[in-house]
Chains A and B, each alone.
Chain A
């Protein structure tokens, strides 16, 4: 199942709708990394609220995605990890090191606003 990638101002929002296969995850990663430069986005939000399982492949792919997007000049934040999922992940040692996380979409947007404000902003954007 494909993950819709929405453009919202200077940000891209990938909202995962159902459980993803490994192939879906890699496809999401490639699509996001490509679209960051297409839309010249400053920030990316990946919403994983619906995932009730996060295995080692998924968390590694997400970490790679975050680092790749960083190399392309944008900031990524993962939002909506469920409490049970979070604890299961750390028990497996999947701590998403170096990856920004936030509670939900709103918090993620606030985080990106804070992080990307330091970069040169267009006066016309307000």
Chain B
């Protein structure tokens, strides 16, 4: 059917109407029936159970803005305003858990609602309907793509920002005692973060003149063999700086990974948990922690 109508336009549009004229007619129609079409669209959105995270009033308010932007984009043929709006909209609705399929769904619904109204209006004049649809569909498709892409880009940007935030948050190197550092690692370690951790640790060993470092990986559920290898390299590099590394909190999965890559256990100093690690570190540094009460008991027999 599309092929057919293409044929029609190419032969007749020059005689009757240019696509521009058709579009302005279309826009006038959409402006005229704004209230009714908008309501129809909002009703269809609710019906299809899209945007469940938003209230009816919110959906209606957003639908109005989208509708106006949509008509404007059809009229002017420029997508900048719509692009900006869809970015702004995405920014607002992504934190509320709106999914990609919902956004694409509502745009396609609007396209459908408008097309239906065109069908109703030009029912009598099939030829004109074809030409109107020829003008409408490419523009509508472009708009749908713009909104969807805007949403996905915004989402990706959010994910990137969050990854960056996680990276910055989660790599503190802490000094707990003179010459003793702890490095608690939490979350997923990718090769990038592993490299960053190593750099930070080696620099901290230097600046704090550390002799012992406890790396606690209780908060790391699993690591692939690349990262595990990196961990082993970090331990050896720390040794070259004159510091002993104690690794604590290895999960069964990580232990298995380390065994699978054939780690030399004589180089790895591991202790079950962070407490044990710190106790071992204190022993290496020559500290002995004694309860004050015990000392008092010994001193006054």
A residues contacting B by CB (< 8 A) are 79, 81, 83-87, 89-91, 95-96, 101-104, 107-108, 111
Contacts and interface: CB of A to CB of B under 8 A. Distances in A.
Nearest to B233: A90
Contacts of B242: 79, 101-103, 107-108, 111
- Residue among A79, A81, A111 with the most chain B CB within 10 A? A81
Interface of B, secondary structure class, is: helix
B199 interface: yes
Contacts of A102: 242
A111 B243 CA distance: 12
A101 B239 contact: yes
Interface of B: 198-199, 202-203, 205-206, 209, 211, 233-234, 236-243, 267
A89 B209 contact: no
B73 to A, nearest CB: 53
A103 B241 contact: yes
Most buried by B among A83, A90, A104: A83
Contact of A95 (B206, B211, B236): B236
Nearest to B200: A83
Contacts of A96: 240
B233 A103 contact: no
A81 B241 CA distance: 6
Contacts, number: 52
B243 A103 contact: yes
A83 B210 CA distance: 13
A107 B203 CA distance: 17
B239 A87 contact: no
A101 B199 CA distance: 19
Contacts of B239: 95, 101
B241 A101 contact: yes
A90 B237 contact: yes
Contacts of B233: 87, 90-91
Given A83-B199, A87-B233, A91-B233, A101 B240 contact: yes
Contacts of A81: 240-241
Given A101-B242, A103-B243, A107-B242, A83 B209 contact: no
Contacts of B234: 87
Contacts of A90: 233, 236-237, 240
28 contacts: A79-B242, A81-B241, A83-B199, A83-B203, A83-B206, A84-B202, A85-B240, A86-B202, A86-B238, A87-B199, A87-B234, A90-B233, A90-B236, A95-B236, A95-B240, A96-B240, A101-B239, A101-B240, A101-B241, A101-B242, A102-B242, A103-B205, A103-B206, A103-B209, A103-B241, A107-B209, A107-B211, A108-B242
A93 B240 CA distance: 12
Contacts of B198: 87
Nearest to A78: B240
B204 to A, nearest CB: 9
Contacts of B206: 83, 103
Contacts of A89: 237, 240
A6 B48 CA distance: 85
A95 to B, nearest CB: 5
B208 to A, nearest CB: 10
A83 B237 contact: yes
